[in-house]
Amino acid sequence: MQTIKAAVCHEFGQPFVIENVNLRAPDMGEVEVSLEAVAICHSDITYAEGGWGGSLPAVYGHEAAGLVTGVGAGVQGVAEGDKVIVTLIRACGSCPSCSGGKPTGCETPYDGDKGPLTTADGGKLHQAMACGAFAEKVVVDQSQVVKFTGDIPMEAASLIACGVITGVGAVVNAAGLRAGQDVVVIGTGGVGLNAIQGARIAGARRIVAVDVSEEKLAIAKEFGATDGVLATDKKPWIKAMRAMGRGADAVIVTVGAIPAYNDAPRYLAGGGKVIMVGMPHSGQTSTYEPVILAALGQGMQGSKMGDVVIKRDIPWMVDLYEQGRLKLDELISGRWKLGQINDAIADTKTGSAKRNVILFK
């Protein structure tokens, strides 16, 4: 058992507390990673605000990268000293979803209350999202890490663990976008910008970004959007269709805002589909006119973590970065220390940040 520093949530909606916690050694099939960078995702914030419930006290954080500093028995593919990206995608490899090639939907439950973390006095400490990466170290299942090489900085690599795979994967895997098709991306935060990049990489003809901020629409064009539409305009889907000359083959909703979900089908062409990525708070509902979806052969599909297979998709994305085809450094809005995490979260909540990153070195 070792002592590490972590940002602990004791009460929903209250600031994190930096304190010493206990981290046990890796068990069978587990890997210990000394973190060098962890990015702040809006999912961490929603959990910490109580939007989806959960167990407390807890350590959040799930978008990380670092060095392997310990391995349990039976671990294959990584060794001490390896650079790895740490994800929340814990896959058993044998349930129907994993066996069917959908590890993001793994059906084997994980109880974070019984994970590797405990409080300084030995009490329960929830390892949120099977990661608990707002901490100096993590112990996670070997299925959650991907080794990488090359010159990609740790802070850039950490972004791949969630925001990048979710955005790019939503377009490439969930939407199955083909070259020459048209895409609308609603919301141009970190995930939205990566959906735009995914559409560009996939060869989309027109990529229309929709957001409430002119400034963010300008940034979206730097990442590959061909057009920008203000969500606050009257009937913004009309302007989007004018830019495309038709409806969209895919609409990627990257924000958890109910108005965005209500409007999303309006942007579609016949046969198109809405890919639902952004996650509203539990209990919130949206309204559709199903006869239109049925008559036009349209669809709505949820996408968790971009439907990725991390050991297939993450090395591809690292290569894209090294080839200059995937922007990562440009996604980083601010760099902070663990002791500044509450300030970094406050900055993220303003909506102006693309990704804030906590650095441990």
Q: What is the mean pLDDT of the chain?
A: 96
What would the pLDDT profile of 148-188 be if each residue is shown by its tens digit? 998 899 999 999 999 999 999 999 999 999 999 999 999 99
pLDDT in the model for residue 351: 79
pLDDT in the model for residue 140: 98
Confidence of residue 361 (pLDDT cuts 50, 70, 90): confident
Confidence of residue 224 (pLDDT cuts 50, 70, 90): very high
**Does 353 have pLDDT greater than 80?**
no
What would the pLDDT profile of 67-98 be if each residue is shown by its tens digit? 999 999 999 999 999 999 999 999 999 999 99
**Does 105 have pLDDT greater than 90?**
yes
pTM of the model: 0.94
pLDDT in the model for residue 352: 76
pLDDT in the model for residue 326: 97
Confidence of residue 58 (pLDDT cuts 50, 70, 90): very high
HSE-up (13 A, CA, CB side) for residue 256: 14
Confidence of residue 350 (pLDDT cuts 50, 70, 90): confident
What would the pLDDT profile of 118-153 be if each residue is shown by its tens digit? 999 999 999 999 999 999 999 999 999 999 998 899
Task: Report the C-alpha gap between 224 and 246 in whole angstroms.
Answer: 19
Answer whether 86's CB lies under 8 Å from 64's CB: yes
Name the 3-class secondary structure at 228: strand
Confidence of residue 41 (pLDDT cuts 50, 70, 90): very high
What would the pLDDT profile of 187-206 be if each residue is shown by its tens digit? 999 999 999 999 999 999 99
pLDDT in the model for residue 177: 97
**Of residues 145, 8, 127, the one with CA closest to residue 67:** 145
Task: Report the C-alpha gap between 90 and 106 in whole angstroms.
Answer: 7
Instruction: Taking residues 89-114, report their average pLDDT.
Output: 96
Q: Which domains does the chain have, with CATH numbers?
A: 2-152+328-359 (3.90.180.10), 166-303 (3.40.50.720)
Cα separation values, 330 from 72, 184, 257, 349, Å: 36, 22, 25, 19
Helix (H) or strand (E) holding 227: strand 227-230
